[in-house]
Every structure is written in C-alpha cells, then in structure tokens.
Chain A
Amino acid sequence: MQWEPVIGLEVHLQLATQSKIFSGSPTTFGAEPNTQASAVDLAMPGMLPVLNEQAVSFAVQFGLGIGAEIGKRSIFDRKNYFYPDLPKGYQISQFEAPIVGKGSFEILMEDGSSRKIGITRAHLEEDAGKSLHEDFHGQSGIDLNRAGTPLLEIVSEPEIRNAAEAVAYLKALHSLVTYLGISDGNMAEGSMRCDVNISLRRVGTEELGTRAEIKNVNSFRFVEKAIRHEIERQADILDDGGRVVQETRLYDADRDETRPMRSKEVANDYRYFPEPDLLPVVIDDAYIEAIRSQLPELPADKRLRFTEQYGLNKYDANVLSDSRALADYFEAVVADCGDAKIAANWVQVELLGQLNRDERSIEQCPVSAADLGALISRILDKSISGKIAKQVFEAMWQGEGSADDIIAAKGLQQVSDSGALEVIVDEVLGANAAQVQQYLDADEAKRKKLVGFFVGQVMKLSKGQANPQMVNELLAKKLV
C-alpha cells in the first residue's frame, strides 16, 4: 500500500529580546538556576504582566517577512494547566486572535528546487521554566530562569510531505528569522524547538488520516530521523489494517524511536480565556509601515538579486545567501575584488571549507572579507596564480598577515620577468636534451604532451611562481 505523509510543524521560536515578555528579567542563556526570575516570573501574589513592546515588534517583523496579515487587535489568553515549572498555573499565550495570520515562505531543496509552504498563524506566548529531575535524590528541582522568555509559536500548514522537506522548512525558517534578527535560532540552546504533526493517507486521496504529534524535536537531524521513523511506524500499523491513535509522542534520540507520552501529561482541558491582566494589543497601519520600512532584505529577495546582479547560478546564490552574515561577507569580497564569480568560488570552496573543518561560523572567521578581497585581487592582477593563492590563504587563516604581506614575506610573487623566465626555461631545456630531441621528432599530438612536461619542470623549478602563459610563449619560441 502506498501512503502519503501529511506533515505540519509547530516551531517555538525564542525571540531575541533583552528582557522577558512580561517582566524586566534578563533572558540570557545559561545563568545559575533561578537568578533570572523576578517576582513576576515567580508568580508572587499580586504580580502583574507588562507586555514587552520589543516582542510585539519582532512578531510583526516575522509577519511581514512571510507576507502575512498582521492582527490589528490581537488578544492574550490564559492557557490553564498545573505543572511545577509553570508558576502561575497558566501560560499567557494567544488563542483566538493571534498577532500573525496566514502567510508563507519559500523553502529550498537540496537539488536547488524550491516551493512555498503556507503558515497558518504565529502567536506570542511565554515560555515555562524547567523541571530538573537529576541530582535531587528523588525530588525535582525547578529553574525558572526560562519562565517568561518570549516565544513566537509558528504553525505551518500541513503541506510538508517528507522528512527532507521538513528539514528544508526548518532551515529556511532559521534563515528567515536570523536575517530578521528576531532570534538567534540556536537549536542547541532551545531557541528553536519543533513539534511535528504527522499523519498518513492513501496516495491520491484528500482526506486526512489520524495524526500523532511528536514533541520537542530539537535538531535538524533529529527532525529528519523522527519523521522517517514515525512514517514507518504509522505505515506498518496501516499496512496491517490497524488504526493510528491520536496521541502525543516523544522522540528518543538515543534509541531513534518515538514513544507515547504518559497520558496524564496530555489529557488537558486548557480552559483558554482572555487574559484580564493585559489589554488587547492594538496595532495600527503606521506602526506596521514603520516596521516594514526597517525590514532587511530577506533570503528570497537576496537569492534573486544575487543571480541577477552577479550572474550567479541558482545553487551558488542559495549557498551564499544562506545566512545574512555569509551574504554580507560575500558582497564585501565582491566589492573589494570586483569579480563576483571568482569571489563566489573562493567563498564557497576555500572559505566555507575551512570554516567547516574548524567548526566555525562565518561570524568567527579569522580572515576578513577585505583581506580575502585583496587576495583575489592579486590573482586577478596576475601577481600570483590560483594555486599559490591557496597557499597564501592558508597562511592568512593561520593569522600570518594580509595577502600582500605573505606574498612579499614568502617571495610568492609570480615571475613575469621574461629575462628571468628565459634563464629557467633554458635550464630546463638544457637538462632535458633527450626530451627536446623527442619533441623535435614528434607529431602534433605528442608535442602537446611534451610541452606539458616542460611547463611542469619550469613551474617546479620556479616553485610555482612562473607565469604559465609566458612560459608557454617562451617554450614555443625556443623549441624550433
């Protein structure tokens, strides 16, 4: 039986505000437990929430970034449930009137193709604290540092069809929110947490099957594995004529499987109702336009511009616009050297290669865009060959100085002085009299091969610094 997966993602995105969504406590990651929890975060009696305007601005930026309708009068609601890391006994969230309505954005597949995925809604809410079950000898510890951290919950339409698309969706979302600067998107620190809704239906049918929700899948890789596993699990059930149970499941990365959460944790009636401690958030057109005018260029626009302005192919444009920092770096290199194609090649191959090897991000790159631009300029003005340039780049990476410093210090300047080259060429020809004779006796095809041999010898003797074009000319002149 052929089954088609129907997948929707809910992403909880931590917004990069300085302080919490309803209190003045800082949101810095990794502080000592409970050092970033104020009376409001602790839900002390009589404490009241005050909305952080920055969180609203970030949500509106996201909404505009996906072409969504912005809720002109969005309302906060209480979502009621008891849990020790939820101090008020309710989470302030948005239910009926979210701040961001329907929108969409483009995702890019590995093969360079792209498609649009719809967004159902995005709403603001506060995060809960953390329950710590280890190190407390049968008791639980509670850390409320995270309680009240602003989240934007982004709900996709069920338009994703496989694990690869889900990963592409998350990557595109990550790219979008980091372009906007509304989140650091750091999955390892929980800045982007993903719940997956997944069901199967017979290929060719429209009706949706029963779905399972997989909670808290927190890396691109785990999303991929969890979805693959869950598709298999549901397909097995359906193939055997069974029925999928609607339930919430947890992905266990260690065992690479999903399993049901205890039913006690999911059987909740959240008793949503409008939060009486907060007024509706009223957003007018002037506010929206002010934010729109400040929006940076977004990934899709940048990709398009890279192909048009720099003549890049789609693949290169995609790679280079992956993050705003990388795109900015690339454009700075182009500005310095003036050749987009060579710049694109160098940034993608040498720079990203080195960054990968060193496990560094573009922000941690030891070679500045200006320095790389200068290095490429030396290739373009034929001061050095591409091969030598890689050697120079290596030295730049090690912090040995600028391209020009290194070329000078190591004497890597390309030799284009015809007198000096003639000496080397003569030496090579003199030392290889037999080959010279072979050349003179050979036909055109064989001659070509032998010229290659002579050039190689010259380059070897010149430590790669000889200008290859001039060497060829000299050889042609002398081998008669």
Chain B
Amino acid sequence: MYTKSVAQLIEGLRGREFSSAELTRGYLDRIAALDSQYNSFISVDENAAMAAATAADERLASGDAAALTGIPIAHKDIFCTDGMRTSCGSRMLDNFVPPYDATVIQRFKTAGAVMLGKTNMDEFAMGSSNESSFYGPAYNPWDTKLVPGGSSGGSAAAVAGLLAPAATGTDTGGSIRQPAAFCGITGLKPTYGRVSRLGMVAFASSLDQAGPMAHSAEDCALLLNAMAGHDPLDSTSSNTATEDYCATLNNSLEGLRIGLPAEYFGEGLDSTTGECISGALRELEAQGATLVNVSLPHSALTIPTYYIIAPAEASTNLSRFDGVRYGYRCDDPVDLHDLYTRTRGQGFGDEVKRRILVGTYALSAGYYDAYYKKAQQVRRLIKQDFMDCFEQVDIIAGPTTPGPAFAVGAKTNDPVSMYLEDVYTLAVNLAGLPGMSVPAGFVDNKPVGLQLIGRHFDESRLLNVAHRFQQATDWHLRTPDAIARGVA
C-alpha cells in the first residue's frame, strides 16, 4: 500500500480496496514507528488526521468525493494551518498556532486531502540541507548519514521514507527541487504566481513559490491541480488560466526541443551525476526529442544576485517577528530595545541571522544602488537569457544539483559551499520560471535529479516530459532497501 502512487491510492479508495481511515492510520503508524530515524515531521495531530479521514470515507461512501478525497498528505511547516502549530522550523514560531489556513491548505481541504502533519524544514526555509531547523536536521532515507536537502527536507524525506504518499514544499532558490533530487522523488516548483502565497510564511516574496513533492510526475500533476489558481488575496498570484495538468501527461515527445545550457554541464558538476543526466537525456532523445546546445551567459552571476535579493527581502519580511504580538518573546525584557534584541537574538538561528544581516546591509543607504538595485538589473539579464533560449527550445534540461546528497554536518561551517549547492536551481526562481526535479539515476546508491525548466506557465509541458520519462524508467519507483524490506 505504501509504495502506491497517489493515482493508485485514489483508485484504491474509490474501489473500496481500503478506506481513508485505514490508509491514514497506516501512515500515522509508520510515522510513529520510523520517523525517529528521519525526523521528517515537526508536528503530527493523529486525532485531526483520523477525523479528516473518517469524514473523507463518508464522502467517498456517499459518492461525493473530490479529486483527492481521503488521500493523506504532509505539509511543509511553512504553511499556516488553522489551529495547528506552524513553526517554520524556528524557535521564533515554536509556540505559534495560526487562526487561519494558508490558501494552499484550504485548497487541499477543498480537494478532500487528509493532512498527516507538518514537515521539518530549514529555519524560515533558509538552507539547503535541513540542518538549520530548530527541531534538528531531517535525515535522508537513502542513508541517514546524509542530508535530505533543503529547505523542504522534511517533505522529501517523508515521501522517500514512505511516511506520506505526497507532500507540499516551497521553493525560493531550489528548496523543492534540490531535496527532491537528494531523496529520489519528483518535485515541481511552479511558475511564480501560479500558486497563492497567502498564509505561507514569507522568506523572499518575489521568489517564493509552493509546489508538490511526490513519487511521480503524475502525482505532482494531481497535486498541482488542487494547488494552482488565482487568489485575489495574493496580489502577485496570476490570473492566467490553470489547466488540467493530468490531461497532457501522455503527449508524445516527438519534435520536442530540449535545450542543454553549456553552463550547467561544465566545471563543478560531479562526473557520475553528469553521466546520469546524459543517460536521461538519451532516453528523451529516444522518445523523439531533439537536444539543442544553448547558453545562459549570465549564469555565473546567479549566486551573487540571488544572495543579494533573497536576503534583502528576507531581512524585512522577518521584521514582524519582534516578540510583540505572537511568537517567541524573551523573558523579562527591561525596555523596548531589550525586547527586540533578545527576542530576535534568541528566537532566530545563525543562518537566519546571517541572511538578515546581509540583507539589511544590501538595502542600507549608500549601498542600495551598488547591491540591491544592481542585483535587480542583473536579474533581468538572467531572465532574458532564458527568454532567448526559449526562442530556440521548448524546455531546458540539466542536473538539479552539482552532486548527490552530502553528509550531515559536512557543510554546516561553510555557508558559501552550502550556497553553491543551489547553483543550478536559483536562476529559475530569479526568472520566475517553472522547474522540476525528476529521479534520473544513482551515484553510489545516492539519488540523482534531472532538472527540467519550462516557459512561464508551461507546467503541463514539464509534467508531460517527466511523465513520459517515468513511463520508460523506474528511477522514481526505487525505494531504499531497508524501507522496501519494511513494507514488503
């Protein structure tokens, strides 16, 4: 049951092979039994989950089921959940129980999904290894000595460890795609504006985007169907019409032009990872796609540009955490200054503080033009690179990450080498494009992700390519041996 895809679970529920209560109970039991190894969940409310499952079973019985009725899903702990703690991986919000649902949560409720719990993440989504979480690192189910990636590391580990059939994540610079790659699952970052940001704790407003994380492209399409759409309460959400993302999954790849940016296959790419990507590209070629060499000439500027813009926005987005209205407050403040400094000093972890400092600096009088303004100008050039490529090709492909998952603790003292993990994913956020990571092989039993990048609002095409690839390969169906033995 736990190796079934969401699509299969929907069939199973409708065919009465099992009930949502049985399914949900099963996942909750697995979480209780196994999550001490992965630390993928921050909060689980078994009673609420079982109540939702029972209600779902009633809807199923009455023939009133919505698209995902009865399907258990894990949500990244960045989405506000009415009545359930939303920590964002931070001490700052350890005691925060929102009185409202994020639009994403609301949409999954409307679609009938059952929330299993809230997954671990880097603090305020700042990190690439899930090691900055106040709740401790999450661990990679393929090898618990490895990081699961981040910031949506808990969601990726939960899906890879078969503790949830699917999960939500958010991606500001690779936070869905990189952990998906490290954990051997499929993850989609939609076009900026495709999914509402309302109720999602903000990291960098112009880059943040929520998306699905699951075993397959088909499952991602099912989840995206539930998540996507205009939200009048998010001014940056798009009113471009949504599509049925499942409808075109099986389209032929005949004639598809795939661009391979030289900059994504050069120095810095692990050679075995590169071979996995080449293998995947050959498979797509075999299905009729054409590979075209392209260039993204401003790629070298991606990391510095991102690490100006994202911290700048973050530095002010996180100003609201001041100990005044909600969240962590230091003990016995003597005055306002003391309240601010100790609350924020104690409530935020090192990586968050580092980015607040960097961002504050970048926006300061006298530095704004040299840093933030310049970064925004370069951002337009980076976006233009992609637009130019999409004149020649339909999608862009390359590795999601330079190499596979690294060991827990290997990079915690070297922030810059950690930032380099996102070298292939950041530009997609800067350009607002949709991007996916699809399992494409293994390096020493560590998963490798193929990244696919599409035109704005062309999620259907990405899912179509990923699905056709997954019809011909089984990388996405692999399960870590220990886990496979456990569920066998």
Contacts and interface: CB of A to CB of B under 8 A. Distances in A.
B93 interface: yes
A352 B151 CA distance: 70
Given A82-B322, A84-B322, A87-B325, A45 B316 contact: no
Dominant secondary structure at the B interface: loop
A89 B320 contact: yes
Contacts of A140: 336
Contacts of B326: 42, 44
Contacts of A51: 235
B248 interface: no
Contacts of B322: 82, 84, 89
Interface residues of A, number: 29
B197 A50 contact: no
A137 interface: no
A273 B312 contact: yes
A46 interface: yes
Nearest to A43: B320
Contacts of A174: none
Interface in A8-54: 39, 42-51
Contact of A88 (B80, B320, B364, B372): B320
Interface residues of B, number: 41
Interface string A199-214: 0000000000000000
B235 A269 contact: no
A430 B136 CA distance: 117
Dominant secondary structure at the A interface: loop
A46 B316 CA distance: 13
Interface stretch (B18-26, B98-106, B386-394, B437-445): B98-106
B233 A48 contact: yes
Contact of B313 (A45, A82, A276): A276
Interface string A269-286: 101110011110000000
B365 A46 contact: no
A51 B325 CA distance: 24
A271 B100 contact: no
A45 B325 contact: no
B319 interface: yes
A88 B319 contact: yes
A42 B201 CA distance: 14
Interface string B206-237: 10000000000000000000000000111110
Interface string A233-273: 00000000000000000000000000000000000010111
A278 B313 CA distance: 13
Contacts of B232: 50
B96 interface: yes
B450 interface: no
Contacts of A48: 197-198, 233-236
B325 A43 contact: yes
Contact of A89 (B80, B319, B336): B319
B249 interface: no
B197 A271 contact: no
B360 A47 contact: no
Nearest to B372: A273
A273 B235 contact: no
A45 B320 contact: yes
Interface in A68-92: 78, 80, 82, 84, 87-90
Contact of B102 (A43, A46, A278): A46
B83 to A, nearest CB: 14
Interface in B314-343: 316, 319-320, 322, 324-326, 336, 340
Contacts of B364: 269, 271
12 contacts: A45-B201, A46-B79, A50-B233, A50-B235, A89-B320, A271-B316, A271-B360, A272-B368, A273-B372, A276-B206, A278-B236, A279-B236
